[in-house]
């Protein structure tokens, strides 16, 4: 058995910056409400005709591969996590494979929303551990802004989400004390509709109708307070699960990179885990919640900011729609 190790991380965010004040003109909201309840100051929105879920993933992947010193031809498997695919089918994995100039490399799509990146990472980790593949590209990319309700009806959801992409390259690691030490995945379908976009739906006589558009059922729905309550329980729980499995304590963590759901949730986790503020990565202020992309974007920025040193213990953790939640413990 061998471990897998992250050899490079990368990210891409669209150029268009949308400040809270820009949303004030579209719906009944305010900069003060958004900052106080979520910590978000601005987010990025894609440019139609330029950015796609797949090509943003490709740009992030290119940065990750450059940092890993690898080229696209070295990649054995692509794993692409998103809730906002370019097409109903096929998934964006194959589109990215084509953009990378690869011909028959396998591409797997992951549908686990905010936990998607850690789920994807765990799959890549298993393939490397078993020896089936050597170099695995793991990507999270989202275009949320084309699917949000920008009227007052949708304000509690629309102000939160943003667009962007992040990626990591996984390679084999023979030293079992380095790389991905463990991953931990959970799901609770009981709460599937508490944070969901249930239309268009294959179960309806017609997948997409004018009524769905008029009634707004095509937009994401979130029971904010229920999601919040579960998130603040599950985040510490799944972080502790990872620490316990490895015989480590919260004080051993050098950097926690949580899914960027809400600054208040992140601050709660930080306090609950007894971590210093500088040990917890937060960039939701700039990007909002980018779902499957949020962890790899934050990871890549932490790397750029010099917050990650050799030998550091890094913990990734996520909670979101499904409900799904997950963690990964990494020795850099």
Q: Which is nearer to ligand UT7, 128 or 160 (CB)?
A: 160
34 φ/ψ angles, rounded to the nearest 5 degrees: -65, -45
Would residue 230 show up in a list of annotated catalytic residues for this protein?
A: no
Judged by CB under 6 A, the chain residues 94 through 123 that form the site for ligand UT7 are 114
**Strand pairing report for 136-142 and 164-173:** antiparallel
List, in sequence order, every residue forming a beta bridge with 326; answer none if it has no partner.
Answer: 185, 318
Q: If you search the block for the tokens 């996984």, which residue do you land on?
A: 170
Distance CA 92, CA 102 (A): 14
Judged by CB under 6 A, the chain residues 133 through 192 that form the site for ligand UT7 are 155-156, 159
Total of residues contacting ligand UT7 (CB under 6 A):
18
Contact 40, 290 (CB under 8 A): no
Among 3, 4, 29, 115, binds ligand UT7 (CB under 6 A): 29
Q: Is 5 in the site for ligand UT7 (CB under 6 A)?
A: no
Distance CA 97, CA 75 (A): 10
Q: Is 227 in the site for ligand UT7 (CB under 6 A)?
A: yes
Give the range of 10-18, 65-73, 257-265, 307-315 binding ligand UT7 by CB under 6 A.
Answer: 257-265
Among 79, 180, 212, 231, binds ligand UT7 (CB under 6 A): 231
Q: Which is nearer to ligand UT7, 98 or 229 (CB)?
A: 229
Which of 18, 40, 24 lies closest to 264 in space, CA to CA? 40
Minimum gap (Å) between residue 270 Cβ and ligand UT7: 15
**Strand pairing report for 77-81 and 136-142:** parallel
* Nearest residue to ligand UT7, scored by beta-carbon proximity: 224
Q: Is 320 in the site for ligand UT7 (CB under 6 A)?
A: yes
Would residue 289 show up in a list of annotated catalytic residues for this protein?
A: yes
Q: Is 228 in the site for ligand UT7 (CB under 6 A)?
A: yes
**Strand pairing report for 77-81 and 42-45:** unpaired
Q: If you search the block for the tokens 């109708």, which residue do you land on?
A: 209
Contact 7, 171 (CB under 8 A): yes
Q: Is 200 in the site for ligand UT7 (CB under 6 A)?
A: no
Would residue 11 show up in a list of annotated catalytic residues for this protein?
A: no
Q: Is 224 in the site for ligand UT7 (CB under 6 A)?
A: yes
Q: Which is nearer to ligand UT7, 221 or 332 (CB)?
A: 221
Which of 273, 202, 213 lies closest to 243 in space, CA to CA? 273
Annotated catalytic residue, options 20, 230, 289, 315:
289
Q: Is 43 in the site for ligand UT7 (CB under 6 A)?
A: no
DSSP string, 185-217: EEE-GGGGGGEE---S-TTSSSSS-HHHHHHTT
Distance CA 12, CA 118 (A): 18
Annotated catalytic residue, options 3, 20, 114, 135:
114
Active-site residues: which are they? 114, 259, 289
Chain positions contacting ligand UT7, by CB under 6 A: 29, 33, 37-38, 114, 155-156, 159, 224-225, 227-228, 231, 261-262, 265, 289, 320
């Amino acid at each position: 058995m061998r471990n897998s190790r992250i050899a490079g991380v990368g990210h891409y965010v669209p150029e268009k910056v949308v400040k809270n004040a820009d949303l004030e003109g579209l719906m009944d909201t305010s900069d003060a409400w958004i900052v106080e309840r979520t910590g978000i100051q601005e987010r990025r929105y894609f440019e139609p005709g330029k950015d796609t879920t797949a090509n943003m993933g490709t740009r992030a992947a290119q940065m990750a591969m450059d940092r890993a010193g690898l080229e696209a031809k070295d990649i054995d498997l692509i794993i692409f996590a998103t809730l906002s695919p370019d097409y109903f089918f096929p998934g964006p994995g194959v589109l990215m494979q084509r953009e990378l100039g690869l011909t028959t490399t396998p591409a797997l799509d992951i549908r686990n929303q905010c936990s998607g990146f850690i789920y994807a990472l765990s799959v890549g980790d298993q393939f490397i551990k078993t020896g089936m593949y050597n170099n695995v590209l793991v990507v999270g990319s989202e275009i949320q802004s084309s699917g949000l309700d920008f009227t007052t009806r949708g304000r509690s959801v629309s102000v939160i989400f943003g667009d962007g992409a992040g990626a990591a390259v996984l390679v084999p690691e023979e030293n079992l004390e380095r790389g991905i030490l463990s991953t931990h995945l959970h799901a609770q379908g009981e709460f599937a509709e508490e944070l969901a976009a249930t239309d268009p739906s294959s179960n309806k006589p017609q997948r997409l109708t004018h009524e769905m558009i008029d009634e707004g059922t095509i937009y994401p729905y979130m029971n904010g307070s229920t999601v919040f309550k579960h998130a603040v329980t599950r985040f510490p729980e799944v972080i502790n699960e990872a620490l316990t499995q490895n015989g480590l304590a919260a004080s051993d963590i050098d950097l926690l990179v949580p899914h960027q759901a809400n600054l208040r949730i992140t601050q709660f986790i930080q306090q609950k885990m007894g971590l210093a503020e500088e040990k917890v990565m937060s960039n939701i202020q700039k990007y909002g919640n980018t779902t499957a992309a949020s962890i790899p974007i934050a990871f890549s920025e932490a790397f750029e900011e010099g917050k990650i040193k050799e030998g550091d213990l890094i913990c990734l953790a996520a909670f979101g729609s499904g409900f799904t939640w997950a963690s990964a413990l990494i020795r850099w």
